[in-house]
Structure 1
């Protein structure tokens, strides 16, 4: 039985954690950690419910079939009470191999919880798995046993051995700089031998969810770090062994989009992660682990750096354009339009639906300090995607910000924007395009088809679209709001 779904998959009554994509016979399996946020604990204060893998399948990243739980928790006494992140590959004989992180808070080392690599196989059905506990193994000497996770298995050379990358930590050195992408190799996907680490930056606590792929002449290492910022980042190399070099902007997204991994489908590369929820469904609430599934499509610049955009299939779901006209607010000089010049002005248009695709095409004059696409706004409140050419960044902001007291001045005016939601951007004078996908509380903005930034918008569920300019001149060439087709983005259950 089908039901209308959001553009971002989330299971009924639960949340999407780390996504593990796997392309199989023309279908993309999006395994994910199913987070039920069950608060129940036992007499020792430990969780009663372990973490399982669930899955959805898709062929276009806009229609999903919910496959439910495919790898349940091993139970309260098992080494894989929690089934954490891993990967899935097809062996030479057609057997499917699922590698994952096993964890049980009831089983501890002297220093903390243990993490181990676990293994399951299937004779061809990606939803049916047989565990092989005899193939499990923990951290090798020289590594901390409580950080040995997220096995990513691939074959850099079709004629060579398999390679397993792991988010690991050395057992010595500065505590917050021990992170290493540990490497093992195998000829049969069962017996593994240690190899030199693929990457040892000595910079992070660890590099979660490693993922390696090739596009053209370049290799890419994607990982998520939580030392300096909770962000998914990437490195570029000319071979799968490195050396891994940072592009000018090494981030995939902002704070809200995390634990992203990639998959190739129909000749295109997609990045799939989750957009975090916030506590109490409030704009000022702390970021939480897990949320809604989110997909970006990658492209490649001539220098090898990557672009990140909304998938072309998502854009195609919005065929119905809504005519937009803007009216000046509080003495603005003119109504913006093609060729109109503006300075220190605000305009507002119509109410926007909860689900919409908004496109603004702007011509930014030299010396302009800032301009912004306003979202769910009134004359003095709402959200904005602000371009700041002088600082070379795109930021997410909201007004009013969090209040610190009852007085008029007791508001977070000293916070210039949502500081964890900023993206480096080349905003040279000239033409720029901002495209924003709104889907309930979810928002993803893409600048010039290459720089993506996701956010949550809880406190203002409705409002108007608009434009603002600060200390400069901007010509609004186009402002378009598109609504989704009535039958778009449907989810089905077996």
Structure 2
């Protein structure tokens, strides 16, 4: 299983931290007890560590939830920093029984360690809530950093202005401290005047650029980023400002051996509804000359798969014997063998000008009639996920979700000029990650009705020349 999940429970927000030559991935442990009569229990921090995002060591719960009446009954998202030999952990405290009629208050909490990331001592005296002018129910996800070794510590949070339009009051609030104990309110880092709030903020410097990463708490639910020439902004949007799609959420970053990784989670689903928490997932960022970021699968993850084998394709419905033997009419498809549930699929094609769409059929039936579809659309410069057949709204033939062109919460802008393109797909049971040209990624979860496992290729209103379609088995 490449997308790690604990034996009992699910991975919520991940807090990555580099220390002692390892990547320590703290995460919110969503235990989802099966017994509805069980007494309420809060949310703790658990920990898993790795050096390659392939092999993991599970350290279990390292920051227990507080007792029933504690301000940190739930230990929500935060950050970890080192100050000399001492480690500091900042997190969000929440208790549904404390607050007002408008909801429970959120507070910033502090814990320390003498250097062991698995052992922490809470410091209740350092707890503080939102000052006047901010909504006390949204004062969360503290991220602590320094702009330079001799500068004060900075702490940014997901916050909301009080007495402001509800869906435009989100702000990345900021405080400063000389000692990581006493904090003073500073000018906000970013106030975009849009959306409810900007969750899980993360700030880092990479070369000549500064980056602000956040998860947009709106209908989109996507992790986005902004860039600036200095640590205080102004924060500029890139043409492609998203990290991934709806199914890679609350991503935070870590630098390891000179590389930058984004670590988030793939939500589980109940029917068509996304749930909170799921499986751990990672992407590697690559910096472009203009400061923009490209994303792909880490090389260590790719290397975990064995020697690739060519997929033998058979034409469907009168298609040419092989892709690339002439332009298609409206639609042509080719179906291949059954692939294992845990594998890496690599497709490389040369795309003819004016091609409308092409892509992969995953989890497909032998006749290609049912499939999970990764569709690349050059005329729209986007990558989308589709399912066929789509769901129905009633028994009649016309009562089908045909008015939904694809899974609209799973699409990414993706430059697709004519020429060669490579699509990698990491299949990991029900979860998957697709990467186009080591530049654009789309994480997704297969439909629960999927039963077959053929792989196929298709093209619509255009032509592609097949360079390779290969499958590599995990550990093969």
Give the alignment's TM-score, normalised by structure 2.
Answer: 0.97
1:144 aligns with 2:135: yes
Match of 1:455 in 2: 444
Secondary structure of residue in 2 paired with 1:134? helix
Cα drift, residue 340 of structure 1: 6.1
Cα drift, residue 336 of structure 1: 2.0
Equivalents in 2 of 1:398, 1:60: separation in Å?
32
Among 351, 372, 377, the residue aligned to 1:383? 372
1:287 aligns with 2:279: no
Q: Which runs of structure 2 are paired with 1:339-350 in the superposition (5 Å)?
A: 341-343=327-329, 344-350=331-337
Cα drift, residue 90 of structure 1: 0.8
Give the alignment's TM-score, normalised by structure 1.
Answer: 0.93
Cα drift, residue 38 of structure 1: 2.5
Among 366, 387, 407, the residue aligned to 1:398? 387
The runs of 5 or more residues in structure 2 that have no matched partner are: none
Match of 1:324 in 2: 311
Secondary structure of residue in 2 paired with 1:449? coil
Among 60, 74, 80, the residue aligned to 1:88? 80
CA contact 1:18–1:260 (8 Å) conserved in 2 = yes
Match of 1:171 in 2: 162
Equivalents in 1 of 2:179, 2:320: separation in Å?
71
Among 405, 420, 426, the residue aligned to 1:416? 405
Match of 2:197 in 1: 206
Among 333, 340, 361, the residue aligned to 1:353? 340
Among 281, 303, 310, the residue aligned to 2:297? 310
Among 125, 142, 151, the residue aligned to 1:160? 151
Equivalents in 2 of 1:360, 1:372: separation in Å?
9
Equivalents in 1 of 2:429, 2:139: separation in Å?
37
CA contact 1:15–1:292 (8 Å) conserved in 2 = yes
Match of 1:71 in 2: 63
Equivalents in 1 of 2:449, 2:155: separation in Å?
43
Cα drift, residue 285 of structure 1: 2.4
Cα drift, residue 363 of structure 1: 1.1
Match of 2:414 in 1: 425
The runs of 5 or more residues in structure 1 that have no matched partner are: 1-5, 487-494
Match of 1:25 in 2: 20
CA contact 1:440–1:461 (8 Å) conserved in 2 = no
CA contact 2:43–2:73 (8 Å) conserved in 1 = yes
CA contact 1:39–1:47 (8 Å) conserved in 2 = no
**Which of structures 1 and 2 has the larger relative contact order (alpha carbons within 8 angstroms, sep 6+)?**
1
Query: Using a 3 Å threshold, how does the CA distance of structure 1 residues 368 and 428 change in structure 2: closer, same or farther?
Result: same
Match of 2:4 in 1: 9
Cα drift, residue 334 of structure 1: 2.7
Secondary structure of residue in 2 paired with 1:49? coil
Aligned pair count reads 472
1:268 aligns with 2:259: yes
